[in-house]
Every structure is written in structure tokens, then in C-alpha cells.
């Protein structure tokens, strides 16, 4: 009888710059896996030209086996041999891919090395013709995968519409570690001082990449309108991206540049939330937003658009307020409701925290993921 050994998983991801929510999910998942049952290696494909690559520094503070494969340009096929060596050296069983590029390589490696391909579908948010082509091809490739994890029911439905079997796709919402993200009200004043925020104002904030899908134009417009009647509010937007200059210019045109701050990318999310009174997600599209989970865990009252899996995280008027996307009036009314009724917003925030501690804990998510690892290995045997 062969001695039992752990299931060996290669988490494979390609991203530019600082990355986003999936990086937290991948790295924290690897850190929390039971090494006697699941040995997880995290591997990132890194473009040699990327000077602000962030996942490596995030991994440095975690107990994870972390590797990088360097490519000279997008879709550098020479990395296939490097990935094959990692698979052979690590005796990898499952390759867990996370976007169209690594799904493509996982499909190749499944053929060449007999490795089991698994994908998490975080969503398809690009708008260029090239990205749209990649997304179309990605959904064709995913038809060959035995299992796919969708981070929201909306993404699952999108996959089913493309002809992917419902038996192959399972929804697993993103989770969060409630112990790592916990509010300490004694830190709020210091957080505002660190971020150079006015101590007496009501701070409305958002965290995310400054890209079209986040629709920060709408948030700035609504904030400018509300400030005409309430000069005691202040807006903070934490994140970086292609629209940074545009959004800063828009704030100037709206005459709110003195009442808002763009902090750039912030690695310390807890610091941000300790400075906030209200959190707003104004997105047109999301998978399952880690930023919303962070706000829930840190007891910042949440207003969020009904996109992706957001309404699966937040029960409307129980854990936060859910509004239609691109609805100026709904967003403005929700903010005013929180401004006028602090007890109401605090009640929702407390409920959100309890939900995170139970259904949306990272430990709960990992149990579901590990069951899929077990199932895939049983199929192989």
C-alpha cells in the first residue's frame, strides 16, 4: 500500500502591477492550507518589463512557497518549459489557474504532463477588442476543464450560457479572515492623522483600481452634489490605475479638490477603514469584491451596487445598502440615509461583521475549495 502524501497544488496567476483582490485570495489560501493534506505552491508569471509588480512583496510576509516565472512579453511560450519543470520537480497534481492567460497554459500542461486543470473565474472586465477576444477564447478553453469555481452566481450563469456544463461549475464566494480584519476604534484618530484627513469631517471612502469598471466618475459627481448641502463630508479614494489623472481633473472641475483625497495604492486596508465612516462601491461590474468583504469585516457601513456577487455578500437593508448600478439618485439617497441615521448604519455594520464571522469566513471558503481538490484527485485515481 502506497503511503499517503499531500495533494500538491500549483496556484498559477499572471498579473501586472500591484494586482487586486485575487492576489489576497490566492496567497492567504496557500498560507492557511493544511500542509499535511495540501501542499500549495504559488507561482506568478511576471513580465520582465513590469517595474511595479506587487504580489512578491505580499507573499514575503506569509508562510507560502512562492515562485515567479519571468516572461519577456505577453504570451511568451518559452515559459512553458519552465512551468513543466516546476510541475515535475514539485510532483504537482493540480494546476489552479485564475485568468485567461493561465487557463491557456493550464490547458497545455494538462495535455503535456497529465496534470489536472482547475480554474477560478473571477470575471472578465476588460473592454478592448483584444481583451474581448481573449475572453471569448477563454470560455472555449474552460469547456475542457473538469471543474471551474465561479466567484459569483452571475459568473456561473455567464459560463453556462457559453455551453459549459452546470456540473462542472460551482459557486464559491470569496472569503475573508475575520481575525486579520477587525476594527479597533482606538485606532481611528491615528488613522486619520496618518492619512492627513480632517478629524472632524465625515469620511466617505472607496478602495479599488482607478479603472472604468469602478465608475468613480459617478461617485465624484454624487459627492459634489451632496456637498452643496453638507460641507461636513470628505471623500477618500484609495487605489491607482489608468484613470488617476482623469479623476483628479474631474474633482477639480467639480470644485471638490479640497474636499477629496486620492491616496494612490494603499497596502494597509485596515488603516484606510479605521479612517472611514461610510464605504461606497460604485462599480458597474465586479466578480465578488474583496473590498466589500474588507469593509464588512472592519464594520464600515457599506453602500454597494448590485453587480457580480455583491448582493450575495450583503443582504440589502440587513448588512448594508444595495443599489442599482449607475443610479445617481439611489447612490445619493443611500449616502444621505447613512448621514442622517448613525444608529441605522452602525446596526447594518454590526450585522455585516457577524455575517463575515460565519458564512463568509476564509476558513469556510477553504473547506469548500479543498473538497474540490479531493474530488479531482479521486477522479484521477
Instruction: Give the fold, CATH level 3, of 7-175+361-380.
Output: Rossmann fold (3.40.50)
CATH 3.40.50.2000 for domain 185-357, yes or no, is yes
pLDDT digits (tens, 9 = 90+) for 326-360: 999 999 999 999 999 999 999 999 999 999 998 99
Torsion of CA 112, 99, 20, 159, to 10 degrees: -140
Task: Give ranges for CATH 3.40.50.2000 in the chain.
Answer: 7-175+361-380, 185-357
pTM for the model stands at 0.86
Q: What is the pLDDT of residue 3?
A: 52
Q: With contact defined as beta carbons under 8 Å apart, do 181 and 270 qualify?
A: yes
343-347 own/partner pairs: CB under 8 Å, 24+ apart: 345/278, 345/301, 346/301
Q: What is the pLDDT of residue 1?
A: 39
Q: What is the pLDDT of residue 127?
A: 75
Q: Alpha-carbon distance 10 to 78, whole Å?
A: 19
Extract the residue ranges of the chain whose pLDDT is less than 70. Answer: 1-3, 381
Name beta bridge partners: 109: none
pLDDT digits (tens, 9 = 90+) for 79-112: 999 999 999 999 999 999 999 999 999 999 999 9
Amino acid at each position: 500500500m502506497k503511503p499517503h502524501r499531500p495533494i500538491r497544488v500549483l496556484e498559477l496567476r499572471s498579473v501586472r502591477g500591484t494586482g487586486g483582490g485575487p492576489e489576497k485570495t490566492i496567497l492567504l489560501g496557500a498560507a492557511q492550507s493544511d500542509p499535511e493534506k495540501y501542499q500549495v505552491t504559488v507561482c506568478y508569471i511576471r513580465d520582465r518589463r513590469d517595474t511595479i509588480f506587487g504580489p512578491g512583496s505580499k507573499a514575503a510576509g506569509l508562510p507560502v512557497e512562492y515562485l515567479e516565472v519571468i516572461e519577456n512579453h505577453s504570451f511568451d511560450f518559452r515559459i512553458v518549459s519552465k512551468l513543466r519543470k516546476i510541475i515535475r520537480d514539485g510532483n504537482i497534481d493540480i494546476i489552479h489557474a485564475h485568468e485567461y492567460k493561465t487557463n491557456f497554459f493550464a490547458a497545455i500542461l494538462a495535455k503535456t504532463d497529465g496534470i489536472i486543470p482547475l480554474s477560478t473565474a473571477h470575471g472578465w472586465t476588460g473592454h478592448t477588442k483584444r481583451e474581448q477576444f481573449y475572453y471569448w477564447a477563454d470560455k472555449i478553453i474552460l469547456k475542457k476543464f473538469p471543474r471551474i469555481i465561479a466567484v459569483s452566481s452571475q459568473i456561473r450563469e455567464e459560463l453556462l450560457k457559453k455551453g459549459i456544463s452546470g456540473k462542472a461549475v460551482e459557486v464559491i464566494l470569496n472569503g475573508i479572515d475575520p481575525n486579520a480584519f477587525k476594527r479597533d476604534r482606538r485606532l481611528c484618530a491615528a488613522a486619520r492623522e496618518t492619512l492627513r484627513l480632517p478629524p472632524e469631517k465625515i469620511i466617505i471612502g472607496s478602495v479599488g483600481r482607478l479603472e472604468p469598471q469602478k465608475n468613480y466618475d459617478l461617485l465624484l459627481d454624487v459627492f459634489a452634489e451632496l456637498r452643496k448641502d453638507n460641507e461636513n463630508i470628505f471623500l477618500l479614494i484609495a487605489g491607482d490605475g489608468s484613470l488617476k489623472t482623469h479623476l483628479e481633473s474631474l474633482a477639480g472641475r467639480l470644485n471638490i479638490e479640497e474636499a477629496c483625497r486620492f491616496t494612490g495604492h494603499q497596502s494597509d486596508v485596515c488603516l484606510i477603514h479605521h479612517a472611514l465612516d461610510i464605504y461606497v462601491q460604485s462599480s458597474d461590474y465586479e466578480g465578488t469584491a474583496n473590498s466589500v468583504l474588507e469593509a464588512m469585516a472592519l464594520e464600515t457601513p457599506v453602500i454597494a451596487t448590485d453587480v457580480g456577487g455583491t448582493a450575495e455578500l450583503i443582504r440589502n437593508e440587513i448588512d448594508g445598502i444595495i443599489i442599482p448600478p449607475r443610479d445617481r439618485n439611489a447612490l445619493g439617497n443611500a449616502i444621505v440615509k447613512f448621514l442622517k441615521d448613525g444608529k441605522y448604519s452602525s446596526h447594518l455594520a454590526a450585522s455585516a461583521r457577524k455575517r463575515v464571522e460565519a458564512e463568509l469566513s476564509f476558513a469556510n471558503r477553504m473547506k469548500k475549495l479543498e473538497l474540490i481538490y479531493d474530488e479531482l484527485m479521486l477522479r484521477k485515481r
